[in-house]
């Protein structure tokens, strides 16, 4: 009788410990996933670059997804185009290209730009074939106005 009770108690204790372990593991992984998601959201929100075009006609803001831009991996950029007064520019012809000045080569892809509305443009087909210093060139043409912006980008 006595050993029976003890066995039951030990079993209950084991069960309880198992439950605590399970709960701990569950909370830990959930917490980690939450943190990872928050970090991802933060990096997606943070723009890669904000700059004014050469002749000053436009302002550009660019986001990369994933961010920072990965090495040798197709990915997407989103670009916001504003005029000098800060108003969204619709229907512009935008091209994005990049070269590696130190090596004399460009990207293995020809990124395609499509308008998303509200001055936003999606750039599909971004791919930096190797790590190092790249020079990105954005050309904008709209209603007879032409302008461009260049910036350097360290990919690693």
Give the residues lining the site for Cu ion (CB under 5 A).
100, 103, 130
Q: Which is nearer to Cu ion, 37 or 133 (CB)?
A: 133
Question: Which is nearer to Cu ion, 121 or 134 (by Cβ)?
Answer: 134
DSSP E strands in the chain: the ranges are 49-52, 58-65, 75-83, 93-100, 105-106, 112-117, 120-126, 132-142, 145-155
Q: How far is the CB of 105 from Cu ion (least distance, A)?
A: 6
Looking at the Cβ atoms of 145 and 155, the one nearer to Cu ion is 155
CB 96 to Cu ion: min, Å: 18
- Point out the residue whose Cβ comes nearest to Cu ion: 103
Minimum separation from the CB atom of position 99 to Cu ion (A)? 9
Closest contact distance (angstroms) between CB of 43 and Cu ion is: 25
Task: Please tell me the chain's helix, strand, coil percentages from 3-state DSSP, rounded to the nearest 5.
Answer: 30, 45, 30
Is 30 in contact with 119 (CB distance < 8 Å)? no
Which residue number, 33 or 103, has a Cβ lying nearer to Cu ion? Answer: 103
Q: How many CA atoms lie within 13 Å of 50's alpha carbon, on the beta-carbon side?
A: 5
Cβ proximity to Cu ion, 90 vs 133, nearer residue = 133
CA distance 87 to 102: 37
Phi, psi of 50 (to 5 degrees): -130, 125
**CB of residue 127 vs Cu ion: minimum separation in angstroms?**
12
Question: What CA–CA distance (Å, rounded) separates 23 from 31?
Answer: 12
8-state DSSP, 120: E
């Amino acid at each position: 009788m006595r050993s029976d009770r003890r066995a039951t108690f030990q079993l209950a204790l084991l069960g309880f410990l198992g439950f605590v372990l399970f709960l701990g593991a569950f909370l830990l992984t959930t917490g980690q996933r939450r943190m990872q998601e928050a970090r991802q959201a933060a990096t997606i929100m943070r723009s890669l670059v904000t700059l004014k075009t050469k002749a000053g006609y436009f302002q550009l803001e660019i986001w990369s997804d994933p961010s920072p831009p990965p090495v040798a991996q197709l990915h997407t950029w989103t670009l916001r185009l504003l005029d000098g007064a800060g108003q969204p520019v619709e229907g512009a012809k935008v091209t994005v290209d990049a070269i590696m000045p130190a090596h004399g080569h460009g990207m293995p892809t020809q990124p395609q730009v499509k308008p998303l509305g509200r001055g936003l443009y999606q750039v599909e087909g971004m791919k930096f074939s190797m790590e190092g210093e790249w020079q990105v060139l954005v050309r904008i043409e709209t209603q007879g106005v032409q302008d461009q912006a260049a910036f350097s980008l360290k990919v690693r």
